[in-house]
Amino acid sequence: MNCPHCTGTRTKKRAKKTKLGYATFFCLACQCTFNERTGTPFNYLEAPTDIVVLVVFWRLRYKLSLRDVAEMFLARGFVFTHETVRDWEERFAPLIADQLRTKRRGQAGVSWYVDETYVKVHGKWCYLYRAIDQDGNLVDSRLSEKRDMDAAKQFFKQAVAVVDHTPEQVTTDGHTSYPRAIRETMSSNIQHRTNKYLNNRLEQDHRGIKQRYYPMRGFGNFASAARFCRAFDELRNYFRPRSLMRETLSLPEQRRLFCEKLAVLRLLLLMAS
């Protein structure tokens, strides 16, 4: 294992382990002692890495409050407060989102469905811009305090940067900011459709974030709302069992895919630095 302090390769494994059972090492070059988590985002945590990953995963994936998550782990012998859950979510939800966004780069289709939905933040309605492709896979999402031309342009620029290509066709509602935003940020050759009935699949897809944040009774501040919505959408899209419309998967197959994807997600976080 390379030294995280001097990046040297002359390291020696020690017999002593940390309180959580992680191996420790000694660098012969810089004379520093370190363990398996030194230099990673999980350093200095007083809980095992797998538990931290699972806490953040449950918080994003299921309709659980901060106190619900802490209580469920208390029943399993792990003691921490709901504020600890909040801190872990703040630290690792962006890491999850970044890893999943990188993993799906270039995978979106060429037909996008774009719309915005309302999210309450500190008693004020904000706008969550979301886009999916023709198979229902996530293109991108972005929370904005305003619904105007600038917000639409920023969303399209971000979406193109994430998926690494522009669409051939975009379907939106009749909001006046979309035609110009599409033309100026992507291309004037893109086919733009505005029939509201064609966007029903995205209207239905909004239910994911709506149903998840309703039990939370809104968000306390804009930064936490943007962080949560972004990570939630990425995780929800990642665990979709079907990548194509009308694809048929048996329940055992769905369970197998879920376990495989969860194992890959854990590996991605452990490898992140």
In this prediction, residue 272 carries a pLDDT of 67
Q: How many CB atoms lie within 10 A of CB 231?
A: 24
Give mean pLDDT, residues 72-88: 93
Containing 112, the helix (H) or strand (E) segment is strand 111-121
* Total number of residues shown for the chain: 273
Identify the bridge partners of residue 132 per DSSP, sorted by sequence position: 113, 138
In this prediction, residue 20 carries a pLDDT of 74
Amino acid making up residue 5 = H
**Tokens representing 43?**
């350093």
In this prediction, residue 273 carries a pLDDT of 53
- Asked whether residue 137 is assigned to any structural domain, the reply reads yes
Distance CA(69)–CA(59), nearest Å, equals 7
Rounded to an integer, what is the distance from CA 22 to the centroid of its chain?
A: 28
Confidence tier at 36 by pLDDT (50, 70, 90):
confident
Q: Are residues 116 and 215 in the same domain?
A: yes
Number of separate helices (H) and strands (E) present in the chain:
9, 8
Find the domain containing 17 and state its range: 1-39
Q: Are residues 121 and 175 in the same domain?
A: yes
- What is the chain's Cα-based Rg? 22
- Asked whether residue 106 is assigned to any structural domain, the reply reads no
Distance CA(178)–CA(150), nearest Å, equals 10
In this prediction, residue 195 carries a pLDDT of 79
How confident is the model over 144-170, as pLDDT tens digits?
999 999 999 999 999 999 999 999 999
Higher pLDDT, 147 or 273: 147
In this prediction, residue 175 carries a pLDDT of 87
How confident is the model over 171-227, as pLDDT tens digits?
998 888 999 999 999 988 999 998 778 888 888 999 999 888 887 877 889 999 999
Among candidate residues 192, 187, 139, the one with its CA nearest the CA of residue 161: 139
Among candidate residues 54, 5, 9, the one with its CA nearest the CA of residue 34: 5
Give the three-state DSSP class for 245. Answer: coil
Q: Are residues 65 and 157 in the same domain?
A: no
Q: Are residues 225 and 197 in the same domain?
A: yes
- Asked whether residue 205 is assigned to any structural domain, the reply reads yes
- Asked whether residue 29 is assigned to any structural domain, the reply reads yes
How confident is the model over 44-67, as pLDDT tens digits?
788 888 899 999 999 999 999 999
Residue 150 belongs to domain with CATH number: 3.30.420.10
Domain count, the chain: 3
- Asked whether residue 105 is assigned to any structural domain, the reply reads no
- Asked whether residue 45 is assigned to any structural domain, the reply reads no
How confident is the model over 98-115, as pLDDT tens digits?
999 999 888 888 999 999
Contact 77, 58 (CB under 8 A): no
pTM (predicted TM-score):
0.86
- Asked whether residue 263 is assigned to any structural domain, the reply reads yes
- Asked whether residue 154 is assigned to any structural domain, the reply reads yes
How confident is the model over 211-264, as pLDDT tens digits?
888 878 778 899 999 999 999 999 999 999 888 877 888 999 999 999 999 999
Q: Are residues 196 and 251 in the same domain?
A: no
